[in-house]
Structure 1
């Protein structure tokens, strides 16, 4: 049906390329581009379907525009760094190409995961007759769909939302991150915000935790409250929400290492002068840590990510838990990746598929929950992320 350009050749880019290549009737031509074209070629060599590659610096609008005008794709799937969202959006506007990403824009020098920079593009995309789909990963992405699906089919009004992201996997390293270390550490160490009584309430990072037992024998884990970007859009588009929180599991080894690294300044985003060279400590740390794209062969266990939604149906209190469980080694056998990259990459492919097929094609800038969740949820079941619903789950969440 359409030609796409995928920008980004990390762990998620690898999964997106594999999954798009599995649907040649939808993704008729795939171009994988990155600053490092060798990484693109390595991914292309894993796939039987011909994948073309290109070199592009996603920080530079003229380079992006030149690539888009040369290739003339229907859309761009942006799985590069969140710092590059706006340059890619600018290039899409200039070249007349639809846009999609998996994470909202974040300034390089400020740990702020917020949508307002991208929401400001609404009129530009609308006037250009183009669509920009924001946050089509898992969280954000599938979790937005879980919330929207529950709201559509199970409630008249939703009142509380708890998004719970558990990674029960083990990669064997004392300390490593399952996705881009720089983004991961900035997320975890940022001030926590949750939604309560019509406003965001700030609390210290990782200051509240509780125990959570996943279904299907995945295990029991400590989950920590933290801020995550989908809270901003979900509370905007579901104004009946009285409380919304995001929780993520962390093991003791991860937290211990993170605390020490923070204490000695290695997680800082402020540049320092080292022997006459300016370096950013967290970027130096990233160079020392294992590349997340290499974790697939050694990661065992499962992820369990879902949403506990409570509200009212026919005047009665109701609650549901919508979730997906994914085995790390199943992902590696299919696309040579661990489940964190897989659970982000599959929704990216599905979001692009929704746009190409016209099921979600709307001019302007859109968050996932503003669109019909049903075809997306159907495709999750078809393409590797089957989900379940438990009505009236027995959870005692804070």
Structure 2
């Protein structure tokens, strides 16, 4: 029986609260905090109506360390579950250090003024978390998160040596909007417009944004889709923790319509993250664009279709070449029917709940700052099947 404090009331936060409410034997008390308390109250009402669970809500500026410290001391949670913005990771980790509370997030830290997300800032907390006797679990979403666990599971059960890894993230859903992002527009566009980056033969190699593409025929009737080479943060930790990797890449699908709109927005400067002067005011174009675009939360009832996210792993087993594909397919409408959010939020929120469950039940427990692949994958993999993200594995060779 444990108490959890969830920070962030967006689409992912909504899923996390719903999923925690479904596991009362672990999450006996749920607290939800956000800058806008009314968002928390709306989620709390959903959960009360659907699952007959009470959720206590709080207003919080997650950038303010002392404000978070005060809330932690008031609530006395066993775990702080961070599904706020990645800009706020370090402030929330500082609050956990000051109060001696375990920490979990779904995305690594990114400075507000530089579109560069990497683990170095959070890995630097390793010694302080160890000395405090508390644990931080980084990137407990799907990618990063489940894809890391998929890799660890493949290494444990199916490979003696992993040499190549391709992570494929396909969204075959349609929402009918001219241009919209399935999660926070600011984070999404910063990520997509960044240079591609992949690991090969012991070094990082860069490509121009979305300049490398190929077609992949996705399983279970989804069919062929264009996939684009991008950088994604799980590559950094996987290359570090699987030293036999000769190549690791991340691919994501985008519709031609999305890319056309994005190109125009880039060309006119609407994706810039540096301030511009407008009538005596400093305006960041991307933040203004975010205010114009549909709220990702509003896409839930509109979105139809499925996602398919998984890993293609190549290496050897018992001296023979092996190629292996492990993936999850998630239906947008089924996710919305269960928790009121589409599959993009669902595939991030469910693993966040499962990661919290691993920590609170002590199946994953070790002071310090850790990535998902550094723990036994088996209990997490079992929980995916039980809590809405069943996985399929296929041996393509060997």
Q: Normalised by the shorter chain, which TM-score bucket? A: over 0.9
Alignment of structure 1 residues 66-85 onto 2, 5 Å = 66-85=70-89
Q: Do 2:321 and 2:397's aligned partners in 1 also have CA atoms closer than 8 Å? A: no
Q: Give the secondary-structure state (helix, strand or coil) at the position aligned to 2:249.
A: strand
Structure 2 residue 118 is matched with structure 1 residue 120? no
> How much does 1:334 deviate?
0.2
The residue number in structure 1 matching 2:181 is 177
The residue number in structure 2 matching 1:314 is 318
The residue number in structure 1 matching 2:41 is 41
Pick aligned residue for 1:368 from 359, 369, 372: 372
Pick aligned residue for 1:357 from 351, 358, 361: 361
Q: Do 1:136 and 1:351's aligned partners in 2 also have CA atoms closer than 8 Å? A: yes
Q: Do 2:322 and 2:397's aligned partners in 1 also have CA atoms closer than 8 Å? A: no
Q: CA RMSD in A?
A: 0.8
> How much does 1:219 deviate?
2.3
TM-score of the aligned structures, taking structure 1 as reference length: 0.98
**Given the superposition, is the C-alpha separation of residues 62 and 164 from structure 1 closer, same or farther in structure 2, using an over 3 Å criterion?**
same
The residue number in structure 2 matching 1:97 is 101
**Given the superposition, is the C-alpha separation of residues 393 and 11 from structure 1 closer, same or farther in structure 2, using an over 3 Å criterion?**
farther
Write the distance in 2 (CA, Å) between the matches of 1:208 and 1:192: 8
Structure 2 residue 294 is matched with structure 1 residue 290? yes
Structure 2 residue 11 is matched with structure 1 residue 11? yes
Q: Give the secondary-structure state (helix, strand or coil) at the position aligned to 1:239.
A: coil
The residue number in structure 1 matching 2:143 is 139
Structure 2 residue 259 is matched with structure 1 residue 255? yes
Write the distance in 2 (CA, Å) between the matches of 1:213 and 1:358: 40
Write the distance in 2 (CA, Å) between the matches of 1:220 and 1:294: 28
Deviating beyond 4 angstroms after TM superposition, the runs of 4 or more aligned structure 1 residues are none
Q: Do 2:129 and 2:368's aligned partners in 1 also have CA atoms closer than 8 Å? A: yes
Gaps of 5+ in 1: none
Q: Do 1:168 and 1:301's aligned partners in 2 also have CA atoms closer than 8 Å? A: yes
Q: Do 2:200 and 2:246's aligned partners in 1 also have CA atoms closer than 8 Å? A: yes
TM-score of the aligned structures, taking structure 2 as reference length: 0.98
> How much does 1:174 deviate?
1.1
Structure 2 residue 48 is matched with structure 1 residue 56? no
The residue number in structure 1 matching 2:235 is 231
Q: Do 1:37 and 1:54's aligned partners in 2 also have CA atoms closer than 8 Å? A: yes
Count of equivalent residues: 394
Q: Do 2:12 and 2:83's aligned partners in 1 also have CA atoms closer than 8 Å? A: yes
Alignment of structure 1 residues 317-332 onto 2, 5 Å = 317-332=321-336
Alignment of structure 1 residues 266-305 onto 2, 5 Å = 266-305=270-309
Gaps of 5+ in 2: none
> How much does 1:393 deviate?
6.1
The residue number in structure 2 matching 1:26 is 26
Q: Which digits, 9 at most, give the CA deviation of each residue in 1:242-278, with x for residues without a partner?
A: 0000000000000000000000000000111111111
Q: Give the secondary-structure state (helix, strand or coil) at the position aligned to 2:179.
A: coil
Write the distance in 2 (CA, Å) between the matches of 1:166 and 1:393: 22
Write the distance in 1 (CA, Å) between the matches of 2:223 and 2:361: 38
Q: Do 1:321 and 1:393's aligned partners in 2 also have CA atoms closer than 8 Å? A: no
Q: Do 2:165 and 2:311's aligned partners in 1 also have CA atoms closer than 8 Å? A: yes
> How much does 1:384 deviate?
0.1
Structure 2 residue 389 is matched with structure 1 residue 385? yes
